[in-house]
Structure 1
Amino acid sequence: MVIVLSVITLLGGTIDRAAYILPILCPLLIGFPFAFHNFWQREKLRLAHEELTVAHAQLAAAHKRLSEKASRDEMTGMLNRETFFAALDGSRRRSDRGALLIIDADHFKRINDNFGHLTGDQALLMIAGAIRGAVRSGDVLGRIGGEEFAAFLVGASQDEAKLVAERIRAEVELLRFKPEEGRVVPLTVSIGGTNCATDANVSELMRTADKWLYEAKNRGRNLALLDTGIPEAA
């Protein structure tokens, strides 16, 4: 204000009420719109940043869901074949201990042929549920074929692996599958397994587990065999 009054005096003007009002009013008339404009621009930027943050979080969540869906068997929710073997390989790199079980539904083609594939899918879901309930927390499960499942028993000793394999076999045998009213069709699985040797890769583990799976099939099915060659009681 002092500067404005000095300028008015130098220019020969009269210092009256208007001379006092103008230095106050002019900055308000000019400054308020600019201040409001700057505030509104900052608010728009803040809102845009919040929207971008929300959109980024939604995109990340959608990507996670898609990735999870792509890694899972659509029917059972277990890991699919590719993801299971990737998880098995990753677990092997972190720890030498553990056991691999290959679990195959016995005579499953008969169920599909006699009752249809939709009914067969119901049987597979029951078997998958029995497997899931028989393994330990932290074990890795996958569906690696039409009626073939796999379990990696993380950190399991030989005795622990034998107990889990037998528990899976027994839980499946207890299932009451009724594809038709008044008719119960037995469900059983054959299991081949191997404890993970320190220097064995995934392919070698699969070959060994498969060998014992086919041995279990040849011995009459509904049997769990690990690489000790000692059969579990059926």
Structure 2
Amino acid sequence: MVSRRKIDRRKSKSHAFRLGQPFFMQVPKKLAATSLAGCALTTIYASHIAPKIEFEAFFLLICAFGAWFVGNRFAVLLGLFILSIQILNGHTIPIQGGPIIMALQLSSALAIVLMLGVARAALEIEWRAARLDPLTGALNRKAFFEAVGDETSQTGVTVLIYADVDGLKRLNDRRGHEAGDEALRDFADRVRKSVRKDDVFARIGGDEFVIFLRVNDTASAEIVAKRLHRVLNLAHFEGETRLKCSLGVLVLPAGSKSIDAELKQADTLMYHAKVDGVGLIMAISIKGDMQELMPFAPSVNSDGQQRSAIRSTERPIEVAIRDGFPKSSIAA
């Protein structure tokens, strides 16, 4: 079995939240700033060795790109840098039509540059609003299928975790919807702290969440699922708004191309986990069929308190039936 330390140090990278964005919105700001600064220096050098050529349009274009890809502050600073270098190099600023006309030209150029930055910021806000759940900050259903649709084309073992928050309706009835909203935000924060940046975490219903992540093998999947279960359900909670959840964990082997049927299977596993009260049920999907990692009934102490919500072993369903597990039940 893969060690916990190895799983805890799984590679963290930028999340696939950018999926669905146009290419010109995916350029990293640091890369854009460095490239545009290099273009500005190159253009300044070109204007120095060819003073008869007017490079003002090139400088304006560089600043406009700076506003779009990096931001208005960077664009203004870049423009001031270009202007300062040009003045220090002895380039005179032609005044055609008097200072008023020149002021109008400069202010018009500045307005165009700043409007590009504002438009980019507004576009990003709208793009995020269309894909983020406003309450929890998790991806919404649309963004989830966008991200997972791209991930399923890659190789490797993936894990689909379907989580249903327990007790939300009861909390809403007793404490009001504000308390319920706070509980959902707290739940989402705990999940985010337990997964990597490139794992897909989405809210697809009122109290239903989905996590889609990639692991090395099924042993790693079991460790990750149990760790998440421990954080969400077994940790000591203070306060009534700290809700627990039921988890249905479906391990998808390499080559899985679809997610719709698998999502229903994970939902079914979650349902059995909720009904049977075990908290977590795992299974592995092979060509669309579920092969149970059969959970055993949780052990209890002398006070009747549950010691371990789940212990899973990977075995074919035929072996599980032969060993005495009922064919109609997922959990013993």
TM-score, normalised with respect to structure 1 = 0.73
Q: Would the aligned equivalents of 2:183 and 2:242 in 1 still touch at CA under 8 Å?
A: no
| Larger RCO: 1 or 2 (CA < 8 Å, sep 6+) | 1
Offset from partner CA, 1:44-88 (integer Å, 9 cap, x none)? 434422320111111111110121122111111010122112211
Listed as ranges, the gaps of 5+ residues in structure 1 are 1-33, 180-184
When the two structures are aligned, how many residues end up with a matched partner? Answer: 196
* Offset at residue 226 of structure 1 (A): 3.2
Structure 2: state its 5+ residue gaps. Answer: 1-93, 285-291, 297-307, 310-332
Give me the identity figure in percent. 28
1:176 aligns to what?
A: 237
Does the 8 Å contact 1:102/1:192 carry over to 2?
Answer: yes
Secondary structure of the equivalent of 1:77?
coil
User: 1:63-102 alignment to 2 at 5 Å?
Assistant: 63-102=123-162
Equivalent position amino acid for 2:258 in 1: N
Q: Equivalents in 2 of 1:191, 1:177: separation in Å?
A: 21
Which of 279, 291, 299 is the matching residue for 1:222? 279
Q: Which amino acid aligns with 1:48?
A: S
Is the CA contact 1:102–1:193 (under 8 Å) kept in the aligned structure 2? yes
Residue by residue over 1:75-107, the C-alpha shift from the partner in whole angstroms, topping out at 9 and shown as x without a partner, is 110101221122111221344532111111123
Q: Contact 2:96 / 2:102 at 8 angstroms: preserved in 1?
A: no
Q: 1:156, CA displacement in angstroms?
A: 5.0
**C-alpha separation in 1, matches of 2:95 and 2:192:** 64
Q: For residue 182 of structure 1, what is the aligned residue in structure 2? A: none
Quick one: which amino acid aligns to residue 293 of structure 2?
A: G
Provide the C-alpha distance between the structure 2 equivalents of 1:107 and 1:40, rounded to a whole number of angstroms: 68
- Whole-Å separation in 2 of the counterparts to 1:175 and 1:167: 14
Counterpart residue type for residue 53 of structure 1:
V
Among 212, 229, 234, the residue aligned to 2:269: 212
Distance 1:156 1:107, change over 3 A: farther
TM (norm. structure 2) is 0.53
CA deviation after TM superposition for structure 1 residue 157, in Å: 2.8
**1:215 deviation in Å?**
2.1
**Partner Cα distance (2:179, 2:136) in 1:** 14
Does structure 1 retain, via aligned residues, the 8 Å contact 2:95–2:102?
no
For the aligned residue pairs, the C-alpha RMSD in angstroms reads 2.6
Whose helix fraction is larger, Structure 1's or Structure 2's?
1
**Structure number with larger C-alpha Rg:** 1
1:58 aligns with: 118
